């Protein structure tokens, strides 16, 4: 009986959040660093969100898989300011892994768990229009790395209206029809702001943002986050993630969260419980 009561209490705790987010869009970035073994839990959480009336939109990464594939092709991975230098050969591998493998795996897991999903890339219907990104360092050419200039939100709305969960591979297209590699966090941020999403949730392989004493910060405002970046407390790969989240908030997204996607059902814990997990960033 105690176990049954605990289940009932959990469902009641979720009720106000279901009411709050019903009909709203939540953009979720599933980081490639988490690993494919977590696809099943992630997919079940997405299906639950969809069934209670939330509109999830998934953007995924795949950096670890891409680096492995490049290594097998004897191509050394190179990064500048956290962005992968992308030559023509690298771009072929990026599209093969993101579109041909990971995108299909996530969409398939959603379907296996009773959801309806469509796997697409930013090339489809010119979903993600981009321009070649200019690196901060002079004399550096990142190759085919794109910065999003426009999101074709009508395509996403069309899929949502038909009852599908869009699963988006971060590949962009320029005015000449050439494909570009797009940072997954940047793509998620731009898609979230273009959709006026209620939330942007980035799932990665860390618990969240930590302070100078390595203590997890549950909630932080934009100003404090920028201060931690300047002081070096927020460093390396966390910097572009936090900056993308701040940009999303500045462009109209309600809240931004970074959570540990390795925790089973992390989306449910963040979205439907009082305590939540990870770190939320507020304006």
Domain edges within the chain: 24-205+241-274
Q: What is the pLDDT of residue 1?
A: 66
pLDDT tens for residues 62-78?
A: 999 999 999 998 888 88
Question: What CA–CA distance (Å, rounded) separates 273 from 209?
Answer: 20
- Which of 50, 33, 166, 29 is closest to 113 using CA atoms? 50
In the predicted structure, residue 116 carries a pLDDT above the cut 90: yes
pLDDT tens digits for range 132-152: 998 777 778 999 999 999 999
Residues contacting 120, CB < 8 A, separation 6+: 103, 127, 155, 159, 166, 167, 168, 169
pLDDT, one tens digit per residue, over 219-266 is 999 999 999 999 999 988 888 899 999 999 999 999 999 999 999 999
Partnered with residue 26 across adjacent β-strands are: 56, 199
Q: Give 216's DSSP letter.
A: B
- pLDDT of amino acid 77: 87
Model confidence at 2, in pLDDT bands (50, 70, 90)?
Answer: low
Angstrom CA distances, 39 to 57, 74, 154, 263, stand at 15, 28, 27, 12
Average pLDDT, the chain: 92
Please give the pLDDT value at position 33.
80
Phi-psi region of 126 (alpha: psi -120 to 50; beta: other; left: phi over 0): left
Any residues with CB less than 8 A from the CB of 246 and at least 6 apart, and which? 222, 225, 226, 256, 281
Note the pLDDT of residue 278: 94
158 pLDDT more than 80 = yes
Give the pLDDT score at 39.
Answer: 84
Residue 108 has which token pair? 């398939």
Q: Given a cut of 80, is residue 7 above it in pLDDT?
A: no
pLDDT digits (tens, 9 = 90+) for 36-95: 778 888 999 999 999 999 999 999 999 999 999 999 988 888 888 778 999 999 999 999
Lookup: tokens for 126:
């010119």
The continuous run of DSSP H or E covering 246 comes out as helix 238-250
Which has the closest alpha carbon to 173: 123, 237, 216? Answer: 123
Question: Is the model's pLDDT at 179 over the cut of 70?
Answer: yes
Considering the domain delimited by 24-205+241-274, tell me its CATH architecture.
Answer: 3-Layer(aba) Sandwich (3.40)
Phi-psi region of 217 (alpha: psi -120 to 50; beta: other; left: phi over 0): beta
Q: Is 9 exposed, middle or buried (0-12, 13-18, 19+ CB in 10 A)?
A: exposed
Please give the pLDDT value at position 58. Answer: 98
Residue with tokens 């092709």: 73
Does 32 have pLDDT greater than 90?
no
DSSP 8-class letter at 20: H
**Per-residue pLDDT, 11:** 85
pLDDT score, position 134: 83
Distance between CA atoms of 84 and 43, rounded to whole angstroms? 28
Residue 9 pLDDT grade (very low, low, confident, very high; cuts 50, 70, 90): confident
pLDDT for 211: 92
| pTM for the model | 0.94
Q: Which element (helix H / strand E) includes 229?
A: helix 222-231
- Smallest CA-to-CA distance from 279 within 213, 212, 200, 192 is with 200
| Residues comprising the chain, all counted | 283
């Amino acid at each position: 009986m105690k176990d049954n009561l605990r289940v009932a209490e959990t469902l009641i705790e979720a009720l106000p959040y279901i009411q709050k987010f019903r009909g709203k869009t939540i953009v979720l970035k599933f980081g490639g660093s988490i690993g494919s073994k977590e696809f099943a839990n992630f997919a079940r959480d997405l299906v639950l969100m969809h069934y209670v009336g939330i509109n999830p939109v998934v953007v995924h990464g795949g950096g670890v898989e891409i680096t492995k594939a490049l290594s097998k092709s004897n191509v050394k991975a190179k990064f500048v300011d956290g962005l992968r230098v992308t030559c023509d050969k690298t771009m072929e591998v990026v599209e093969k892994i993101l579109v041909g493998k990971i995108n299909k795996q996530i969409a398939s897991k959603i379907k296996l768990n009773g959801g309806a999903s469509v796997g697409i890339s930013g090339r489809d219907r010119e979903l993600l229009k981009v321009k070649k990104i200019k690196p901060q360092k002079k004399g550096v050419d990142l190759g085919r790395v794109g910065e999003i200039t426009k999101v074709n939100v009508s395509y996403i709305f069309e899929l949502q209206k038909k009852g599908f969960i869009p699963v988006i591979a971060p590949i962009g297209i320029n005015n000449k029809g050439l494909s570009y590699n797009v940072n997954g966090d940047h793509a998620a941020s731009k898609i979230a702001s273009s959709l006026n999403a209620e939330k942007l949730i980035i799932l990665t392989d860390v618990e969240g943002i930590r302070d100078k004493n390595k203590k997890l910060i549950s909630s932080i405002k934009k100003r404090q986050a920028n201060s931690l970046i300047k002081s070096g407390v927020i460093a390396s790969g966390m910097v572009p993630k936090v900056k993308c989240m701040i940009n999303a908030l500045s462009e109209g997204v309600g809240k931004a969260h970074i959570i540990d996607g390795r925790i089973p059902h992390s989306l449910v814990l963040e979205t439907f419980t009082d305590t939540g997990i990870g770190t939320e960033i507020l304006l």
